[in-house]
Amino acid sequence: MICTRVWTPDGPDKGSNGVFVKEFSTQRRTRTEYIVGIGAFTSEGVLRRLRATESVLLIDEQVELLNAREIAEFEAGLTSLGRLTLPGAEATKSLACLDEILSFADGVGLPKHGQIIAVGGGTVCDVAGVAAMSFRRGVSLVLVPTTLLAQIDAAVGGKNGLNYEASKNLVGHFYHPELVCCDPRFFATLNERELICGFAEAVKVLAVSDARAFSRYFARLPAELSMVSAEAWTALVRDALSWKLALLEEDPYEESSRRLLNYGHAFAHFFEESSDHALAHGEAVLIGMIIENEISRALHIGTDNAIRDLQVVTARYLTQACRSHWMTFPSVQPHLDRLRRARRGRMNFVCIENPGTATIVDDVDNGTLEEAWRQAERVVRHSGHRVPAWL
Ligand SMILES: NC(=O)c1ccc[n+]([C@@H]2O[C@H](COP(=O)([O-])OP(=O)(O)OC[C@H]3O[C@@H](n4cnc5c(N)ncnc54)[C@H](O)[C@@H]3O)[C@@H](O)[C@H]2O)c1
């Protein structure tokens, strides 16, 4: 429960400094339903539920193009006031685009009890969240995430954000959707790189939470993720999403325990930035997990066998971009100091003991880090689609 302090001369509670204090709960009752299933997006159950409320549809233009028939079927089943098409890109997470959405919603007369429905990747879901939160001080939000990353990560947990000037996700809030509908049929049109980025987040969640699911999903992987069946994706999305929610439950506003979800992220932003964003976030997370796995090995937190299992999975889908944008330890060292300063002098690492069990380590000395970095470099340089000889 969130409580806000209200300073009022008429309140019943007198504070020690002579100011009257009243506390009241500001939390709205929120309950988000997550539905995962093949065909969920156009199922009668979902449509019946959405039809009762007037809607504005925000659709990723690629998704609209590639799924024109399903989108038309979906929209025909709603009480739609209008459809706004948006590019699935970082530029969409902007004040200018928010302005466009608010003006559209106002123009078609979206009422206070109406809803904004977003169909698209994480960028469209993020801007839709900010728009729903802002329009008429909050209308209902429904998310239909269409990328693997958005189904496992961006649409889960109520966080949203806009980019502002050069900073990513600088503006935003927590605003929980009423419904998140994940239909793995959308993955049929995703390219391998987008699948890899979502896969990285799935590895992250299951590596810190569920040993059985980790080996069930990752023990035998196809050469390319586009070969994974819609049924297999359904099960993976369901489990990864449930585990993410379980981790968030303890810390819904990102104050503490959610930190396990930072696995792979200690260095990810650094690799993204130093590649001038040629590396996608998920690719950088894969690299970050490989380094943290080697830190875990160096500190004897994870056994050689456990680290081998993790590295086989994380290295399997490293792309050529990951190999070309690798940075050696000497070139990285000056930036590490900058990272430490930005993080109040210390870095935290998520180290896996065994897939499914993780611990947070409070910084390590540069010697240990250098050794871990060197081992990680071997993994990255020799990675490919087949299990490499060094493992
Ligand atoms: N709010 C959160 O908690 C959270 C968490 C993680 C990431 N994010 C945000 O999510 C964004 C990344 O999400 P993303 O990877 O989905 O990126 P995205 O929305 O940019 O989509 C990636 C690309 O895939 C296309 N696309 C979407 N669905 C498709 C489909 N079914 N078939 C073919 N193409 C399709 C899009 O048009 C785009 O070109 C980032 O902005 C990130 O900050 C937010």
Contact status, residue 160 vs residue 175, Cβ threshold 8 Å = yes
Q: Which residues contact 293 (CB under 8 A, 6 or more apart)?
A: 302, 307, 310, 311, 314, 351, 352, 376
Q: Is 153 in the pocket of ligand 1 (CB under 6 A)?
A: yes
Q: Which residues contact 146 (CB under 8 A, 6 or more apart)?
A: 60, 63, 119, 120, 121, 186
Query: Residue 32 C-alpha to ligand 1 middle, in angstroms?
Result: 21
- Report the distance separating Cα 110 and Cα 133, nearest Å: 13
In this predicted structure, which of 55-69, 129-143, 302-316 has the lowest mean pLDDT?
Answer: 302-316
Q: Which residues contact 306 (CB under 8 A, 6 or more apart)?
A: 352, 353, 354, 355
Q: What pLDDT score does 131 carry? A: 98
User: What average pLDDT does this structure show over 163-191?
Assistant: 94
Nearest to 350 by CA among 252, 207, 154: 207
- Report the distance separating Cα 100 and Cα 230, nearest Å: 35
In this predicted structure, which of 27-31, 165-169, 299-303, 320-324 has the lowest mean pLDDT?
Answer: 27-31
Residue reference for tokens 């019943």: 12
List, for residues 375-390, the tens digit of each pLDDT value: 999 999 988 644 443 3
List, for residues 313-350, the tens digit of each pLDDT value: 999 999 999 999 999 999 888 888 887 887 777 889 99
Q: Is 157 in the pocket of ligand 1 (CB under 6 A)?
A: yes
Predicted structure pTM score: 0.91
Phi/psi region, residue 285 (left: phi>0; alpha: psi -120 to 50; beta: rest), is: alpha
Which of the listed residues 86, 93, 149, 183 should we mutate to test ligand 1's pocket, taking the one with most ligand atoms within 8 A of CB?
A: 149
Read off the tokens for 163. 């980019």
List, for residues 307-322, the tens digit of each pLDDT value: 999 999 999 999 999 9
Average pLDDT value for the chain? 89
List, for residues 224-274, the tens digit of each pLDDT value: 999 999 999 999 999 999 999 998 887 777 776 578 999 999 999 889 988
167 versus 140: which is more confidently predicted? 140
Read off the tokens for 227. 């070969």
- Report the distance separating Cα 309 and Cα 4, nearest Å: 47
What band does 12 get if pLDDT is binned at 50, 70 and 90? very low
Q: What pLDDT score does 390 carry? A: 38
Read off the tokens for 26. 């500001």
| pLDDT score of 2 more than 70 | no
Q: What pLDDT score does 343 carry? A: 75
In this predicted structure, which of 128-142, 201-215, 285-299, 376-390 has the lowest mean pLDDT?
Answer: 376-390
| pLDDT score of 87 more than 80 | yes
Which atom of ligand 1 is nearest the CA belonging to 61? Answer: 37
Q: Is 126 in the pocket of ligand 1 (CB under 6 A)?
A: yes
Read off the tokens for 20. 């009257």
Q: Is 282 in the pocket of ligand 1 (CB under 6 A)?
A: no
User: What average pLDDT does this structure show over 85-101?
Assistant: 97
Read off the tokens for 121. 């990747």
Beta bridge partners of 57: 83, 117
Q: What pLDDT score does 324 carry? A: 94
The percentage of residues in the chain with a pLDDT greater than 70, rounded to a whole number, is: 90
Read off the tokens for 245. 């929610």
Which atom of ligand 1 is nearest the CA belonging to 189? Answer: 32
Q: Is 185 in the pocket of ligand 1 (CB under 6 A)?
A: no
The percentage of residues in the chain with a pLDDT greater than 90, rounded to a whole number, is: 76
Q: What pLDDT score does 5 carry? A: 43
What band does 166 get if pLDDT is binned at 50, 70 and 90? confident
Nearest to 279 by CA among 361, 212, 193: 193
| pLDDT score of 26 more than 70 | no
Which atom of ligand 1 is nearest the CA belonging to 60? Answer: 37
Helix axes 211-218, 304-316, angle to 10 degrees: 50
Q: What pLDDT score does 23 carry? A: 62
- Report the distance separating Cα 117 and Cα 180, nearest Å: 10
- DSSP-based three-state secondary structure for 9: coil
User: What average pLDDT does this structure show over 296-313?
Assistant: 94
Q: Distances in Å between the alpha carbon of 283 and those of 81, 201, 238, 360, 388?
A: 39, 10, 22, 22, 19
Query: Residue 323 C-alpha to ligand 1 middle, in angstroms?
Result: 23
DSSP string for residues in 183-243: -GGGGGG--HHHHHHHHHHHHHHHHTT-HHHHHHHHSS--SSGGGS-HHHHHHHHHHHHHH
Nearest to 382 by CA among 315, 301, 336: 315
Contact status, residue 70 vs residue 77, Cβ threshold 8 Å = no
